[in-house]
């Protein structure tokens, strides 16, 4: 009997080709649309109905069963509320990472298994490799390892680093061995209705909504001072919550050289900027991470690795050292020494740790 796989069908080309490939490979495929958000925002109607219909059309084309899983309440609790709280604290979270951790590879996985699936699959560009657990563990069990995709430009492992090895061992990423142009060509050859559909670049499952427009619906902000590197007030901002370290555009202070955000004080409601691209606040050769997640266990001792602080950022060689949990019980942190300076990432963003193409894990920048 062929394995039963539930495929997350988002209504886009990647998940459509994923389902088609798995059916060609002999799997018993069921398409699932995850309804995580349906709320319209002013000037930004939610595209979920259109995406749902596209996903359903693909399922009909492929002759596979089709289901809808409603995770809207959980998505609000686990992703949206988290994102809002982080921004209110002055940090810059990544909702896509939290969505993968809490929704796609936890809620979706468990719901699929409860309905008789053996595995799940998504249209992410990444690869899973399964390795045997040591002889001290359960015989024939496997641990899932996360590896970068063939298409390094499209690789999405940055967003997937908080998945557990157990979830990975029950996950298929068929697109990991394809490039994006190859996937588009496959979709055209198969005649899929989503073959020419454009990608959604907005917030995870929310559509083409900018973060400022989204947050404005949930938080009340007050104008405050924009202060330059000399302590001079040079303008006003619409809310410190909307600004992030390194930001250049959207400051609206005008005149001469461009300004870069080098810091902010949520208590004083001030945003600090500099015209000096070499300002020390904009560069760093070390990182401190908390809320660590290791896919296949914490590394022993110092390790030479590569790190990435944002999607598609170049890999940077680094040395990491785990600092034991302190007496306050706040958990272990990770210190990373970089081989060269990088632009300072904002607190709240993720740093993902790689070694020879494998994702070891990562954490949240302090």
Encode pLDDT of 306-333 as tens digits: 999 999 999 999 998 876 655 444 456 8
**Pair 162, 110: CB distance under 8 Å:** no
| pLDDT at position 6 over 90 | yes
Q: Which two tokens stand for residue 48?
A: 């979920």
pLDDT tens-digit readout, 44-71:
788 899 999 999 999 999 999 999 999 9
To the nearest whole number, what is the mean pLDDT of the chain? 90
- DSSP per-residue string spanning 275-292: S-TT-GGGEEEEEEEEEE
> What's the pLDDT at 206?
53
**Pair 23, 62: CB distance under 8 Å:** yes
Longest dimension (CA), the chain: 72
Model confidence, pTM = 0.91
CA distances 164 to 113, 292, 299, 326, Å, are 16, 12, 15, 25
Report the 10 Å Cβ neighbour count for 186: 19
> What's the pLDDT at 203?
56
Q: Which residues are catalytically annotated?
A: 99, 204
Cα three-residue angle 145-150-152, rounded to 5 degrees = 100
> What's the pLDDT at 5?
98
pLDDT tens-digit readout, 29-42:
999 999 999 888 77
- pLDDT-above-70 percentage for the chain: 91
Confidence label for 141 from pLDDT (cuts 50, 70 and 90): very low
**Burial class of residue 295 (count of CB atoms within 10 Å of its CB; 0-12, 13-18, 19+):** buried
Torsional class of 307: left (φ above 0), alpha (ψ -120 to 50), beta (otherwise): beta
Q: Looking at the chain, which residues constitute the CATH 2.30.30.280 domain(s)?
A: 221-277
Helix, strand, coil in percent for the chain, rounding step 5: 25, 30, 45
What is 282-365's CATH number, 3.40.50.2300, 3.40.980.10, 1.10.10.10, 2.40.30.10? 2.40.30.10
| pLDDT at position 187 over 70 | yes
**Pair 57, 187: CB distance under 8 Å:** no
Top-ranked range on mean pLDDT: pick from 68-77, 204-213, 249-258, 301-310: 68-77
Question: Which residue, chain included where needed, has tokens 């083409």?
Answer: 208
pLDDT tens-digit readout, 330-349:
456 899 999 999 999 999 99
Closest among 211, 242, 210, 215 to 84, alpha carbons compared: 215
Q: Looking at the chain, which residues constitute the CATH 2.40.30.10 domain(s)?
A: 282-365
The alpha carbon dihedral of 299, 352, 175, 180 has a sign of negative
Q: Looking at the chain, which residues constitute the CATH 3.40.50.620 domain(s)?
A: 4-190
| pLDDT at position 135 over 90 | no
Which architecture, in CATH terms, is 221-277?
Answer: Roll (2.30)
Which architecture, in CATH terms, is 4-190?
Answer: 3-Layer(aba) Sandwich (3.40)
**Pair 15, 122: CB distance under 8 Å:** yes
pLDDT tens-digit readout, 215-261:
988 999 999 999 999 999 999 999 999 999 999 887 878 767 899 99
Residues 49-65: b if buried by 16+ CB within 10 A, e if exposed = eebbebbbbbbebbebe
Alpha-carbon gap, residue 152 to 148, rounded angstroms: 7
Alpha-carbon gap, residue 120 to 103, rounded angstroms: 13
Closest among 219, 200, 204, 162 to 76, alpha carbons compared: 204
Report the 10 Å Cβ neighbour count for 323: 12
Q: What is the mean pLDDT of residues 80-101?
A: 95
Residue 206: helix, strand or coil by DSSP?
coil
Helix (H) or strand (E) holding 263: strand 260-265
Cβ partners under 8 Å of residue 279, min gap 6: 229, 260, 262
């Amino acid at each position: 009997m062929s394995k039963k796989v539930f495929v997350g069908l988002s209504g886009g080309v990647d998940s459509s080709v994923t389902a088609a490939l798995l059916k060609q490979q002999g799997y018993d495929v069921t398409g699932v649309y995850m309804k995580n958000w349906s709320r319209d925002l002013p000037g930004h109607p939610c595209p979920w109905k259109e995406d749902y219909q596209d996903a359903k059309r693909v399922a009909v084309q492929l002759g596979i069963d089709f289901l809808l899983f409603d995770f809207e309440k959980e998505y609000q609790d686990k992703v949206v509320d988290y994102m809002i709280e982080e921004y209110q604290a002055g940090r810059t979270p990544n909702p896509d990472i939290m969505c993968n951790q809490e929704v796609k590879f936890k809620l979706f996985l468990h719901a699929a298994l409860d309905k008789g699936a053996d595995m799940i699959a998504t249209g992410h560009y990444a690869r899973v490799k399964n390795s045997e657990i040591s002889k001290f563990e359960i015989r024939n069990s496997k641990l899932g390892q996360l590896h970068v995709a063939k298409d390094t430009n499209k690789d999405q492992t940055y967003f997937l680093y908080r998945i557990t090895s157990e979830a990975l061992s029950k996950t298929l990423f068929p697109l990991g061995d394809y490039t994006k142009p190859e996937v588009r060509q496959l979709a055209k050859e198969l005649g899929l209705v989503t073959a020419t559909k454009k990608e959604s670049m907005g917030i995870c499952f929310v559509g083409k909504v900018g973060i400022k427009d989204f947050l404005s619906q949930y938080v009340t902000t007050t104008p405050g001072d924009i202060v330059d590197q000399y302590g001079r007030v040079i303008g006003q901002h619409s809310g410190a919550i909307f600004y992030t370290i390194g930001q250049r555009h959207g400051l609206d202070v005008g005149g001469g050289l461009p300004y870069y955000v080098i810091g902010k004080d949520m208590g004083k409601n001030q945003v600090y900027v500099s015209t000096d691209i070499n300002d020390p606040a904009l560069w760093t050769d070390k990182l401190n991470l908390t809320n660590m997640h290791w896919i296949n266990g914490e590394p022993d001792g110092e390790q030479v690795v590569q790190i990435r602080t944002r999607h598609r950022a170049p890999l940077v060689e680094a040395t990491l050292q785990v600092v034991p949990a302190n007496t306050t019980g706040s958990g272990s942190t990770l210190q990373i020494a970089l081989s060269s300076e990088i632009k300072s990432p904002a607190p709240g963003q993720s740093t993902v740790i790689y070694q020879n193409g494998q994702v070891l894990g990562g954490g949240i920048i302090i």
